[in-house]
Each structure stands twice: as structure tokens, then as C-alpha cells.
Amino acid sequence: MSDSYDKEKWIYVPDYYTDYRFILGTRGEKPLITVGINPSTATPLALDNTLKSVERIALNNGFDSFIMFNVYPQRATNPDDMHSEMDKDLHGQNMKAFKNLLKGIKGTPIAWAAWGTIINKRAYLKTCLRDMVDIAIAYDVSWKKAGKISKEGHPHHPLYLKKDSELEDFDVKNYANICLQEQTNVL
């Protein structure tokens, strides 16, 4: 990726295309942090359909910007192509990026739980998410969801939501205790 995107408008970490991405979003005073499973091929100059949906829903719900963050930073258009085992160094870098992101938010950070049922694709994803939830609790993050919860209790992925979908409170602590419980002692 060239440096041709507007760095005053966009947050892109790292700021070049590679096989992982920590953050992609727009700068603003009231960002919606959206937490998905893993990044695809999107860049500031070429948003994918998921990020287009995230942007629409963020703006529709009164946010002036959006930040896409993921449970695991490996780029994979097809979740089946994700690492079969967690890259612990990559996960550690991702959690560091998450902490730094939260430190930079003015006021209460608001995060949209948007990982969908893909959380079940790899066992380590629940461990990664549990680590994120623990960090989010330390920063007093307010969690939201959009759309219906799956039969297994997972929040809806943003791709097929209506553009006027409203964000609702999401009890991430309860979710973690029920849906992530089997992963609490893995790391």
C-alpha cells in the first residue's frame, strides 16, 4: 500500500499492507470501536463490504467515526485460512494495540461486539477474545450489539445488518462467563 491515503482522516496500523492488521478506521471525537474476528483485505482506499456496513451503522448511531479492531489480526478472507494455532507473539501485539487504542479514547470507550459465530472457527479465538474482554473491563468499555444474538449466544456480524440497525447494550461480562468459560485457563 502506498502512502496515498489521508493520514489525517484514517487510522491504519500498520500503515502498510501486510498479512496482519491491528486497526483500520477514521479519526474523530466519538468513535465506535467495532470488534470483529479477523481482518480481510480492506485498506483505507478500499473498504470491504463489512467495513462499509460498520461505517454506515456507526454514523447512523451518532458516532462521528469508526475503528475496526479484531479478535485476531491475521488477514484471511476465508476464516478457514486462519492459523490453525495461535501465533502468541501476534496476539500479544494485538492486545498491546488494543490497550493503546483504548488509552487514546476521550470519555468512555464504546465497543460494538461484532464477531459473529466465527468465534467458533478456531479454539484460540475464544482465548484471544477473553484477553480483550479483560483489557476492556480495565478501561471501563461500554459494549453494544446490533441485530439478534445467535442460538449459541454470539453477537451478530455486521455484514448483513440493515443500515439503520440500532446498537443496544451487550453484557460482555455475562457473555464471557457463559460463552468463553471453557477457555479461561488456556493461557
Q: pLDDT tens, 59-95?
A: 999 999 999 999 999 999 999 999 999 999 999 999 9
Per-residue pLDDT band for 184 (boundaries 50, 70, 90) equals very low
Strands 168-169 and 142-145: antiparallel
Q: What does the alpha-carbon distance between residue 23 and residue 87 come to, in Å, rounded to a whole number?
A: 18
Question: Per-residue pLDDT for 106 more than 90?
Answer: yes
Q: pLDDT tens, 20-32?
A: 999 999 999 999 9
- What is the average per-residue pLDDT within 113-136? 96
Question: Per-residue pLDDT for 187 more than 60?
Answer: no
User: What separation in angstroms does the CA of 43 have from each of 7, 50, 65, 110, 151?
Assistant: 12, 12, 16, 23, 32
User: What separation in angstroms does the CA of 133 have from each of 5, 74, 171?
Assistant: 31, 19, 11
Per-residue pLDDT band for 163 (boundaries 50, 70, 90) equals confident
Q: What is the pTM (predicted TM-score) of this model?
A: 0.93
List the chain domain ranges. Answer: 10-183
Q: What does the alpha-carbon distance between residue 69 and residue 66 come to, in Å, rounded to a whole number?
A: 10
